[in-house]
Amino acid sequence: MIQTETAPSEEIKSTSIDRRSTWIAELKALIKIGIVNSNLITTFVGFWLALQFTNQSFLQNIYTLLLTMLGTAFVIAGGATLNNWYDADIDPIMTRTQKRPTVTGRIPLKTALIIGVTLSVIGHVLLLFVSLEATLWAFAGWFTYVVLYTMWSKRRYTLNTIVGSFSGAVPPLIGWAAINQEFHIVPITLFLIMFIWQIPHFLALAMKKSEEYKKAQVPMLPAVYGFDMTKRQIVIYIACLLPLPFFLFPLGKSFLIIATVLNIGWLIMGIGGFFTKNDLKWANMIFVYSLNYLTILFITMAVVTIKFPF
């Protein structure tokens, strides 16, 4: 067998590609790409429903959609980056955050700060080309997440989950405001669904990571008041979701049935937590169900409003 040596130029090229791939991976981790993508889904649904309720053409608003999605993505990415920058002192304590580039040093804190501020500014500027209302909603969400949640409440109060949930509920309002700036029950309901959904979602996650939050001295509800209190709160907030789909009755019976089944199924699972012997297994079930719940619910909103030409 004849062996050939790799040319120096090819080795340099390969190394360059590897470094570029590593940098992209680190950047995705810095901006929390998963959170960005999930929030863009709810932004799109808010935009889509606004088109349907105002009888506007999707294709005629494609440029507005691109600006809205891009601007929202930049704002969320900027806020997430600033969150990583600020939490660099406690992230090494928790296993799920130990590999963040601001912890490993692959992205220096000064660089992370510059990236976070730059992305945030660009995002808001892009949204100004869409509408002032969309920009104001984006800023409200950004300010709540970066200042009121990350810098103020996260390390002080168990209510930090509620504070942070406001920012996560804003994307549908941005999408709606890009098309329709008038008051409407639909975007308000979307906001409430997102706001309430996040609380059992993140409380379940906090139960799974309770010991880590204790070590990091982050006062999440289960780390401070225990699992029994947390389970009661989870069930209460899931129950609060039950009436909300009925405010979206114009979406049709199919949506109401699917949404109600999802809510009842989640509530039954939540109540089951009072009888379980394995709290962490139950918390994981609640967490996984919440992810599927949101995906199915928002996809259903979009699908039932598609107008076929036949």
Per-residue pLDDT of the chain (310 residues; tens, 9 = 90+): 434 444 555 555 555 555 666 878 899 999 999 999 999 999 999 999 999 999 999 999 999 999 999 999 999 999 999 999 999 999 998 888 888 999 999 999 999 999 999 999 999 999 999 999 999 999 999 999 999 999 999 999 999 999 999 999 999 999 999 999 988 999 999 999 999 999 999 999 999 999 999 999 999 999 999 999 999 999 999 999 999 999 999 999 999 999 999 999 999 999 999 999 999 999 999 999 999 999 999 999 999 998 754 3
Q: How many domains does the chain have?
A: 1
pLDDT on residue 96: 83
pLDDT on residue 4: 41
Query: What is the amino acid identity at position 143?
Result: F
Instruction: List the domain range (segments joined by +) for residue 120.
Output: 30-303
Residue 297 lies in a domain: yes
pLDDT on residue 6: 46
User: Could you tell me the two tokens for 3?
Assistant: 């062996």
pLDDT on residue 2: 37
d(CA 6, CA 31): 36
d(CA 298, CA 245): 11
Residue 179 lies in a domain: yes
d(CA 244, CA 259): 9
Residue with tokens 């509920």: 169
CA dihedral 50, 40, 77, 54 (to 10 degrees): -10
Residue 178 lies in a domain: yes
pLDDT on residue 309: 43
pLDDT on residue 7: 54
Query: The CATH number of the domain where 53 resides is what?
Result: 1.10.600
Element (H, E) at 202: helix 185-208
Phi, psi of 90 (to 5 degrees): -105, -15
Q: Is 226 left (phi over 0), alpha (psi -120 to 50) or beta?
A: left
d(CA 94, CA 83): 15
CA dist 301 → 61, 143, 309 (Å): 19, 28, 19
Residue 251 lies in a domain: yes
Residue 25 lies in a domain: no
Q: Which of 171, 146, 150 is nearest to 160 (CA)?
A: 150
Residue 14 lies in a domain: no
